[in-house]
Amino acid sequence: MSVSMPSFLNCISDDDFAHYEVDDYQKCVAKWCSGCGDFGALNATKRLLAKEQLQPENTVFVSGIGCSSRFPHYVNSYGFHGIHGRALPIATGVKLTRPELDVFVVMGDGDCCSIGTAHWIHAIRYNMDMTVLLLDNNIYGLTKKQTSPTTPIGFSTNTMPRGSYLPPLNPLTATLGVSNASFVAQTADWIPAHMYATLQAAYEHKGFSFVRILQRCPKFTPDVFTDAVKNPDNNELLVHENGIDAPGLEKLFKNRIIHDPKDLDGGRHYAEVENRVRLGLFYRNGELPCYEDTREVVSVTAAEKIQKINTEFDRYAV
């Protein structure tokens, strides 16, 4: 690699030891609709960045296209607001060649689960060390209310005015079904403490940390989660000593399932949709190889490269 660790260390400056407050991670004012669930995710993320004291210049947010994909514009870090469905390939290129960077990926449900499905499935397999947020509002918001893969069946939209024809895709079971899945969690915009704890656990996990964030679109799907929002009893938290730790929730959220995140079968079982919204850590395996480690490159000087190419030419010499 041309950018080797020694040259990186050479350019450490005083700034690298600066202290960052939450607001230091704010770039410009977010322009989402008032009441949008994206704000909650942004706030929780900025808290996480401050807690971890991530250096803005060594942090990269990559997104696709959609309301939630404006995310990188609102974070003081490097950002790549890509094209629809393709956040993961871009993030793969970044992480694979610069594994020392902290990479976050932000996608919406159309982005990840429809146009970008191929990349999602394969990114799970690559299991690169990145934090991946699926901001799932069950609808295409930016293009104004078209059916997404996670739209509830029967839900009326501009493309399916007589109701969505198909049962929704379950991003959790889909992710848990792919080889090398290493971290799968679900949280919701109506429980900020849980969301923050979930992001924290996702960041700490080494591997592809997939977090589905259930959130409301105030314009087009304000009521899809109303039952769970209005009545804590319609939520069910997966808890475990090795699970996601969100103190203070036990009083309000009484439905708790003790689930060891090592238990893949159990995780798949609980990921199936039932009457209550299940939140928490479905599966975590920190032992799976990360693609960027598997593909780690050696450092070779220019002079060595020239010598090698000349040796290569000898094979083709006339």
Partner 1 sequence: MTSSAPALAKGEAKSELNDSLDTGAKKVFCVPEHTVEIIANSGEGAQKCGQIFGSVSAKMGNGVWTVEIIPAEIEPPPRHVTSTSGNLIRFGTEQITNWGDRTKLAVAFNEQVLLSRHRLDSLDDECIILVEDMWENHDDENIRKEWATAMEEMSSANYRIVKVPIEEESLKIVDNPHHGKNMFALGMLAEVYQRDLDLIKKQIANIFRRKPAKVTELNIALVELGIQWARENLDFQFDVPAKVHEEARVVMNGNQATALGAIAAGMEFCAMYPITPATSVSHELCDIIESYGGMVHQAEDEIAAAGVAIGASYAGKVALTVTSGPGMALKTEFMALAVMTEMPLVLVDVQRGGPSTGLPTKVEQSDLLAALYGQHGDAPRVVMAPATIEDCFQSMITARRIAETFRTLVIVLTDANLATGVQQFPRPQLDERWQEAPLDLSAVPEGTLPYDWDHSTGLSRRIIPGQANGQYTVTGLAHDEFSKVSYEPESNELGCNMRSRKLAVFQSTLKPPTVVGDEEGDLLIVGWGSTRGAIEEAVGRARADKLKVSSCHLTFMSPLEPGLKEIFSRFKRVMTVEINYSDRLGDPYITAENRRLGQMCWLLRAHTLVDIDCWTRVPGQPLRPGDIHNAIVSHLENGAAS
Return residues touching partner 1 (CB under 8 A): 1-3, 7-8, 11, 13, 15-16, 27-28, 55-58, 60-62, 65, 72-73, 76-83, 86, 88-94, 96-98, 100-101, 118-119, 121-122, 295, 297-300, 302-303, 305-306, 308-310, 312-313, 316-318
DSSP 8-state assignment for residue 299: P
CA distance 240 to 259: 6
Cα angle 310, 313, 317 (rounded to 5 degrees) comes to 130
Nearby residues of 14 by Cβ (< 8 Å), 6 or more positions away: none
**Nearest to partner 1 of 83, 257 (CB atom):** 83
Query: Taking the complex as a whole, how short is the minimal distance between the CB of residue 84 and partner 1, in angstroms?
Result: 8
Query: Taking the complex as a whole, how short is the minimal distance between the CB of residue 180 and partner 1, in angstroms?
Result: 13
**Nearest to partner 1 of 34, 301 (CB atom):** 301
Query: Taking the complex as a whole, how short is the minimal distance between the CB of residue 91 and partner 1, in angstroms?
Result: 6
Query: Taking the complex as a whole, how short is the minimal distance between the CB of residue 199 and partner 1, in angstroms?
Result: 20
Q: Is 312 helix (H, G, I), strand (E, B) or coil?
A: helix
CA distance 186 to 7: 40
CA distance 245 to 194: 8
Q: Is 230 helix (H, G, I), strand (E, B) or coil?
A: helix
**Nearest to partner 1 of 251, 302 (CB atom):** 302
Query: Taking the complex as a whole, how short is the minimal distance between the CB of residue 26 and partner 1, in angstroms?
Result: 12
**Nearest to partner 1 of 125, 254 (CB atom):** 125
Give per-residue burial for 26-41: e unless 16+ CB within 10 Å, then b: eeeebebeeebbbbbb
**What tokens appear for 24 in the block?**
């230091």
Q: What is the CA radius of gyration of the chain?
A: 21
**Nearest to partner 1 of 89, 280 (CB atom):** 89
